[in-house]
Every structure is written in structure tokens, then in C-alpha cells.
Structure 1
Amino acid sequence: MAKRKAEYLRCTPKATLFRAESVEHRNNVVLHAASKWAKGEAAPTNRDVGRGISVNSHFDSGNIEVVDISNSEKHGVDHTLNLRIHADPYCESDKTAHFMWFFFRVTGVRDEQLHLNIVNAGEGSFPTAWPNYQACASYDRKYWFRIKDTAYDKKKGVLSWHHKPERDAVWYAYFAPYPFERHEELIAEIQSDEHVHLDLLGQTLDGHDLDLLRIGEPGKDKKKVWIIARQHPGESMAEWFMEGLLHRILDRYDPVARKCLQQAVFYIVPNMNPDGTWRGHLRTNAAGANLNREWDHPTKEHSPEVYYTRQAMDEIGVDFLGDIHGDEEIEYNFLAGNEGIPAWDDRLRKLQDEFCSAFLHTSPDFQLGNGYGNDEPGQANLAICSSAVGQRYKCLAFTLEMPFKDTDYAREPVQGWSLERSQRFGHAFLNAVLAVLPDLR
């Protein structure tokens, strides 16, 4: 049986909820920490903390808690910051409170040598993913680079990095964030195109809209292509992928895009988990549901995102599904197929092989040799989206994974796997879709 993510989960106790705001003076360093609680309550409005270092995650998609900050003149370090990642709500299906996603700002640090420690990294969802990981940093929240001096102490369970910021403020993140506000801007931009129809699938538990973009006009012989992303909100590369894909589909000068829209209608959900995105979660929605384990029994009360999406699929139909994700540990782009579903047959195998062959041809960033492996016949987990959809509609369906780190076969030393590469990967994806469109039914 394939070793999918669920097999790597470590059971950890439900996270302790910390105070939302604290201000302390320690060795003349002003410590300011603000964050959202896992249950979604906002911290009090920030107050003036005077001069000194400020650590803050009280913003869209932010996540960090401050343990302490201290001055230090040892080993060339000016300040040591000990931090904790705040956990998602407890996830019953996975028997853990997930966490690895972090995103925060540090202010008052120009030309100061920082030593940052995430002290609970070893208790996170996938601790074996920390080795070889490099933290992301940005001064403008647009261009993100990697901190080369990042290390993981397995014995202590601490992720650390050293950095000397060149500006007054710096943002650090697990991966280049795609905040909910940018999602809203993307929806506004895309739906303004005359070829796009915006449908509201429903609302989430926190009251966010769950958006479905229909691109192209339905027709009798047109294929119904579904592409969804970000069931796991911390996998922000998935929505960067979608942004690249959407921009290409709507490029009226692109011959591949034009051909696709002649043959198919695209149904796209760029962000399946708005609540988790805004809250700064790694893998769950507001109720602690891992949406990619809810497709066999979604409910409005626990997983409305899946409930409404599957309802729309039943009404519209599905000929193709791509579910876009990110993998914390594996340093490759890869596809997880549906070999284990009861409906798997020669037709679906041929379609999947054809898609993979076309994707290999159009993007050197794609490969087939490394991934989760295949499920044994009849042993697929039908609570997982791609398996559930492939079985329910007897269609080509798969999960596409991108790395949080970098591609082992084509490393980029400054940014690693990045938002820019994710966008271009989404751009290239369309060629592979076009290759299989005539044979989907």
C-alpha cells in the first residue's frame, strides 16, 4: 500500500492555547507578540510598544507565538528569539493537532544579527520534513528568498536560523504565503473577464465565500474539467499554481488555452479552505477537519467546503479532476494516481499515462520516479478527494504535489521551490490537460 501522508502522522496532544497578546521588557528588548487563537478569535488591537524588537503574526495567514526574546553578545548574535508555532484545532480523523505553518513579522532589526528558534518544531505534523529545509524571508512580501543558515536539531526538536536583516522589518514564513486577501483580489481579477462566470458554492464556518470559477461556455460535447487547490491551507504553493494556470487559460493569444476552451469548460476552486488560510492553519478548516479526508462523508456542520463542492460536482458532472497540493518532505513534483480505486481499469490507466507523458514533455519540473507509490488494487482511501472523485464519476482524477523545499533534480539556490516556479508549473499544466481532453470520455 502506498505510503501517503496519513501514514507519517505523529499523534501529538491538543495544543495549549496561549494568551493572544503579551508585552514584556527583558534586557531592554521590547517583546510584542500578537496572534489569532486556533478557534479564530482575534487578538486585541496592537498598542504602542515603544522602541525595540516586535514580533507579530496578527494578520491574514499569520502564525507564531513568542516564548521569549533576549539580548546576546555570544557568537556574534545580537538577539535570540525563541518561538512556537500555534497548532490547528484538533483533527479527529488524523488524531492530532496539526502544525508546521508559520508566518510572522519582526520589526526593529535592521543590521541586527538574529538567532531564531522554533522550539516546538519537532512536535509538528511531519518532523522528518525539517532536515534540508530552509526558511523563507521577505522585505516586501512579494519576493521571497531562502535563509541558507537554517538547521534542524533532531534531538532537541528545534528548527533554527541565523539572519541579519537589511531592512527595519522582515517577514518569515514556511513558504511564500498566499493570504486570503490576495485570493479575494485574484477572484475579482478573474471574474472580470467576459469568459468567466463566478458561482458561490456556499459559505464556510467562519462565513467566508467558497468560490467556483467557471471558464468557458457549457456545450453538449464539451468536457467538464475540475481543478481544485488548497484543501490544506498551509500548502500555499497550490494557489500560486492556480494563479499561473488561470492567467494562462484566460490569455486569448495563447493557442493552447484557446484550444482547451473549444473542447472543455473549466470549473476551478482556487482555494478550498478560506478559513484555514486566514487563520494560519497547516491542514484543517475552522472545525479541525482535514478536508482531504472528508470526501466520503462531508457535512455542512464539519466540512461544508467539501459538502458544497461535491454537491456541485454531482449537478455538473466531472470528466477530469486535478487536486493541487504541496508535500512537506518529498523534494520532487509528482502525481499520486488512482491505481487503488475499484473503478481503476485500462482506460483510466491509459489516460493517466497519457497525461503524465504530456506533462513530462511540457515541464522539466515534473517527474515520475519519486512520490508516494501506488495503492494496492481496491485499497484506495475513498475519503481522499482524488480517489473519491475518480471512483464516483469513473474519471481521470489525481493529486498533484509540489515541494515545500526544492526539486532535488533542478535546485534553485536562492529561492528553492518558489511562488514563481509554482506559477509557471501551473502554466505548463494546461498543455497536459489539452493532451487528454479528446479521450476523457
Structure 2
Amino acid sequence: MRISSVFDAGNILVKSASNPADIRLEIEKDNGSDFYQWFYFRLTGAKDQVVRMTIENAGGAAYPKGWEGYEAVASTDREVWERIPTTYTDGKLVLEHKPDGDAVWFAYFAPYSMTRHDELIAACQQSGQVRLDVIGTTLDGRDMDRLIVGEPGSGKKTVWVIARQHPGETMAEWAAEGLLTRLLDETDPVARDLLDRAVFHVVPNMNPDGSFRGHLRTNAKGINLNREWDKASEANSPEVLAVLEEMKKTGVDLFLDMHGDEALPYNFIAGAEGVPSFTEEDARLLNAYKDALASINPDFQTKHGYAVDKPGTADLSIATNWMAETFRCLAMTLEMPFKDNADMPEPSEGWSPDRSMKMGASQLDAMRAVLHRLK
């Protein structure tokens, strides 16, 4: 029996693995940081045996409340990820499973590897509506890919969509894939109408280094990119700096930043209500987007979410707040769950890549509903 994680996005430390009924593990911290919660590893040699794996340092993870009501995922083909019995007690997370294959992969959420990212980029560039450019490089020297969809034209709006500032929030890139797949479907009337009236700039993965390294929340240096928008630098956050430099050239009319939330079992949007310039019209526009999305996709709701910042108190290092204040645009953060959606549970897979992609695709309907109201 063997446990390994030396692969794209892998993360686990093996304390002991001689007894299938008592495997002891720890999650490794993000490099240069105290953040950790993402895990992804392969177990071989335990086919048809009941295994019990204890992650001993789960209680010190970034969001321990995220373990409450949570179930890990497992796969033998790395395509379908099923939820498995998982319990959290006394700071320890226990996974139980009976593999039906010689190798089984376990993860915090269905992984989105850098290999799949490359496949997404390759697929998108086959469309005549897409231009791909590399807008910068990461601290580890990886490319920062930006996809431009649509042709510039007089009166067209500029939409920016970014995903996966926090690399362990893989549902964000699954959602980006869903959005792009629909946007490039030449038979989809919503996509066609949007591209007649807007140009999209999409960065499907804001944090390639953290993604490959198996980080939860930070880049190669241990920097949380979603606290860098007011101070982005080549030394700490070239990923954010590269995007901001391009935004200055294009302007921004609508900004969407896609994430995952460890604790809340809901899909919701956080706006920029706390920035100094936020107006009543801004609030109406934000609510119109959320209401349109809720009417389109029942997996989205508006009752549960983050507490709204008081006027003038927003943290401008956060992307949505910085964008709203700097570009005076509709700026939003989409949050999806690591757990299942409590409003519409699906016991086998829970919140999944497929549902994430559908949520990403649904953003186009909501964008179309408000596009004519953008400043």
C-alpha cells in the first residue's frame, strides 16, 4: 500500500500508512504561509479493503468550520468524483472508503489540474472568436493566459472575468470552463447576443503557481492575491499586476471574480457595497444581476452570504472592491461551495464540476439581463 502526492496539484504528508485501517496524514502548508486546507493524493494497493485515513492537523486548517458537514471526494478515473463518508471530531478529519480499483485519488474538491487548464486554452483558441495572449509570468515563470472573446466595436461593453485567485478553489476554474464553453457556442443565442454587444476578457486561472504546488490560498511566495489589488507588485503579486495593466488599457464595465467558500453550503454573490463611491443605482444594478441569476439557475440564492460592509469601510485590497472603486463598474465575487448546496443537495457528488460549469454558464444570462444598464 502506498500514498503519493508528487504530481500536479498534489498535497499530503504521510505520517504512517502500514495499516489500511489506521492511515495517518497531514496537509502541507502553502509555501511561505500558514494557510492550508487543500489536499489531493493517490492511494494504491488497497483495492477491496476498507481504509480509514485520519488527517491529524485538520483542526489547524485555514477554515476549520469548513470541515463541519463536509465530505471528501474520491475517484478511480479522475473524471467522476464521488463523495465519501467523512467525519470531523476533535480537530481530526477522518475519511473512510473501500476502493474498487488498484489506484484511487482523494481530494478536498474535484481537482482542476494545470494540464486541464492547458487543454482548456487549446480548445478555446480553436474558435475564430478567440484571441489568446500571455499578459505576464508568475513568480515560478508560468504563463498568465488571457482569452479575449469577441471583436471590439463602437459602443461595445468590456467584461472581465477572472477565476481561481485562490488555487484550492478549483470550482472557480470549472465555472470558468462552463462560461467559456457556452460563450463560444455559436448556436447559443445568448452568447451570440452578448458578443454583438460586448468583448470578454477571461483569465481562467489567476494563480498557476499555487495551483500546481497544491496550495489552498496563495501564490508561490505565500501571498494571498485577493489582498493585493491596491498594492500589486512584481516582487509579490505579478499575477495581479499583469491583469491590472491590461485593464487600464481596456477599461472595465463589468467585473466578475469566481471563488469557492469553504464553510457556507450555498452559491451567492458578494458585491462592493462598502466602497466609498457606491450609490443607490449601484445597489439596484447589483441586485438586478443577482435576481436574474436566481431566476435562471435554482442552484443560486440571495438569502445566505457574507455580511455587507458598512458604507466606506470596504477593504480595497480585495479585487471586487478595488474594481468597483477604481473603474466605477459593476463588480462582483461569485462564491460556490466546497460542500453540497444545502438548498438542492445531491448526495452522490454534492457540489461538483458539472454543477460549477453550469453555474459559470448561467452568468451569461445574468450578464445579458443587465448589460444595457452598465455605465
Q: TM-score, normalised to structure 1's length?
A: 0.84
Q: Does 1:225 align with 2:159?
A: yes
- CA distance in 1 between partners of 2:276 and 2:328 (Å): 10
Aligned residues: 375
Match runs of 1:137-216 below 5 Å: 137-147=74-84, 149-153=85-89, 155=90, 157-216=91-150
- Amino acid of the residue matched to residue 197 of structure 2? Q
Matched, 1:127 2:81: no
Tell me, in whole angstroms, the C-alpha distance in 1 between the residues paired with 2:105 and 2:194. Answer: 39
Question: Residue 46 of structure 2: which of 95, 109, 123 is its match?
Answer: 109
- 8 A Cα contact 2:3 2:17, kept in partner: no
Question: Paired residue for 1:296, among 230, 240, 253?
Answer: 230
Task: Select which of 89, 102, 112 maps to 2:31.
Answer: 89
Letter in 2 for 1:345: T
Q: Return the offset for 1:175.
A: 0.1
Query: With CA pairs under 8 Å and 6+ residues apart, which has the higher RCO, 1 or 2?
Result: 2
- State the 1:266 CA deviation: 0.3
SS class of match (2:22): strand
| Alpha-carbon distance in structure 1 between the residues aligned to 2:36 and 2:129 | 39
CA deviations over 1:307-338 (Å, ceiling 9, x no partner): 11011101110000000000000000001111
SS of 2:166 mapped into structure 1:
coil
Per the TM alignment, residue 357 of structure 1 is displaced from its structure 2 partner at its CA by 1.4
Separation in 1, partners of 2:350, 2:32: 31
- Contact 2:2/2:17 (CA < 8 Å) preserved in 1? no
Tell me the distance in 2 between the aligned counterparts of 1:308 and 1:162. Answer: 43
CA distance in 2, matches of 1:113, 1:332: 32
Find the aligned partners of 1:226 and 1:432 in 2 and give their Cα distance: 14
Partner of 1:361: 295
Gaps of 5+ in 1: 1-52, 72-77, 92-96
Matches within 5 A, 1:69-80: 69-71=17-19, 78-80=20-22
Q: Conserved in 2, the CA contact under 8 Å of 1:407 and 1:416?
A: yes
Deviations 1:72-112 (A, max 9, x none): xxxxxx43210010100234xxxxx1000000000011111
Distance 2:344 2:225 in 1: 31
Q: Which position in structure 2 is the counterpart of 1:35?
A: none
The gaps in structure 2 that reach 5 residues or longer are none
- Offset of residue 301 of structure 1: 1.1
Which deviations, in whole Å up to 9, do the C-alpha atoms of 1:359-396 show, x marking residues without a partner? 01110011011010210000000000000001000010
Match of 2:246 among 290, 312, 319: 312
| Secondary structure, aligned partner of 1:365 | coil
Classify the secondary structure of the residue corresponding to 1:79: coil
For residues 5 and 336 of structure 2, the distance between their equivalents in structure 1, rounded to whole angstroms, comes to 26
**Could you say what secondary structure the match of 2:266 adopts?**
coil
Instruction: Tell me, yes or no, if the aligned pair for 2:25 and 2:55 is still in contact at 8 Å.
Output: yes
- Aligned equivalents of 1:54 and 1:134: distance in 2? 22
Amino acid aligned to 1:278: F
CA distance in 1, matches of 2:44, 2:168: 24
Q: C-alpha distance in 1, partners of 2:56/2:62?
A: 14
Aligned to 1:115, the other structure's residue is in SS state strand
Decide which structure has the larger Cα Rg and report it: 1
CA distance in 2, matches of 1:315, 1:427: 27
Read off the aligned partner of 1:70 and give its amino acid letter.
S
Q: How does 1:43-58 map to 2 (within 5 A)?
A: 53-58=1-6
How far the C-alpha of 1:161 sits from its partner, in A, is 1.6
Distance 2:289 2:148 in 1: 22
Matching residue within 352, 357, 363 for 1:429: 363
Identity %: 50
Partner of 1:328: 262
CA shift for structure 1 position 339: 0.6
Aligned partner of residue 70 in structure 1, secondary structure: coil
Whether the 8 Å contact between 1:69 and 1:79 is mirrored in structure 2 is no
Q: Is the Cα–Cα contact under 8 Å of residues 139 and 170 in structure 1 kept in the other structure?
A: yes
Between the aligned partners of 2:286 and 2:51, the Cα distance in structure 1 is: 48
Amino acid corresponding to residue 88 of structure 1 in structure 2: D
- By how many angstroms is 1:199 displaced? 1.5
| Partner residue, 1:6 | none
**How far apart are residue 405 of structure 1 and its match?**
0.2
String of CA shifts for 1:142-185, please: whole Å, max 9, x gaps.
000000x21001x2x11002111111110000000000110011
Q: Contact 2:114/2:211 (CA < 8 Å) preserved in 1?
A: yes
- Rounded to whole Å, the distance in 2 between the matches of 1:410 and 1:211 is 34
Q: Could you tell me whether the CA contact under 8 Å between 1:273 and 1:285 is conserved in 2? A: yes
Mapped contact 1:226–1:268 kept (Cα < 8 A): yes
**Aligned mate of 1:239, from 167, 173, 180:** 173
TM-score (ref. length: structure 2): 0.99
Instruction: State the Cα distance separating 1:346 from its structure 2 match.
Output: 2.0
Structure 1 position 64, deviation (Å):
0.4
Q: Distance in 2 between matches of 1:195 and 1:106?
A: 42
